[in-house]
Amino acid sequence: MVKIFFTLSVCLALISCNNSSDSIQQSIVMDSTAFPNHLFFEKDGVASLNGWIFHPSISSEIPLFEMETPPTGGTWSLKLHKADFPHPVNTVTETFINLTSGIYELSVWTKMKYLLSGINPVGSISIIKSSSGVSSIATMTTGDSTEWHLVTLSDTLSLNRTDSVTIMLAGGVSDSAAHGNALWFDDVTFRKK
């Protein structure tokens, strides 16, 4: 539980930090019809972030894609390695504004590379609401399976038009030596129920 809280705190700090030397720009989608409904990490058969912003745990990290996909189809998935302490977590985010209050659901197909007793990375999916500089987060772990499985998170959001909602996929963090234990993500849906 402490690891999850630490991971989420680091991720929120990464998202809220914005300085001019940072080459990562924020992607904001202003229209709920642009939600990544059944987003596969590819475009026209080529691996792609499709509007997601990659937040590396260390500056040399790059987004990785593999021809490893869930049973729902596609050719490419996003592969996020977990980070070792004290580094933050590899994440991808997409931000939306001008949404209305209601119940939102984030679903993601995911799996991990290895099951290692007691040292599996704690990957997660999150819905983050930002209102007047204050963030609230709903999150859940992605599980510890080497098979593709669907993870779904729902959150009831009371929103003003000026609030933003960020969805985040996190590769996990651990103090173990299992740095190579990657997590895959694909077929993301985000919708208002």
Structure confidence at residue 86 (pLDDT): 66
Could you list the pLDDT tens digit for every one of the 193 residues in the chain?
434 443 444 444 444 443 333 333 445 554 454 455 557 899 888 999 988 999 988 888 888 999 999 999 889 999 987 776 667 788 999 999 889 999 999 999 999 887 776 666 678 999 999 999 899 999 999 888 899 999 999 999 999 989 999 999 998 766 554 556 788 999 999 988 8
Residue 34 belongs to a domain: no
Range of the domain at 78: 2-17+40-192
Residue 35 belongs to a domain: no
Residue 11 belongs to a domain: yes
Question: For the whole model, what pTM was predicted?
Answer: 0.80
Nearest to 80 by CA among 168, 189, 177: 168
Length in residues, the chain:
193
Domains: count for the chain: 1
Output the domain CATH number for residue 79: 2.60.120.260
Residue 146 belongs to a domain: yes
The separation between CA 134 and the C-alpha centre of its own chain, rounded to angstroms, equals 20
Residue 83 belongs to a domain: yes
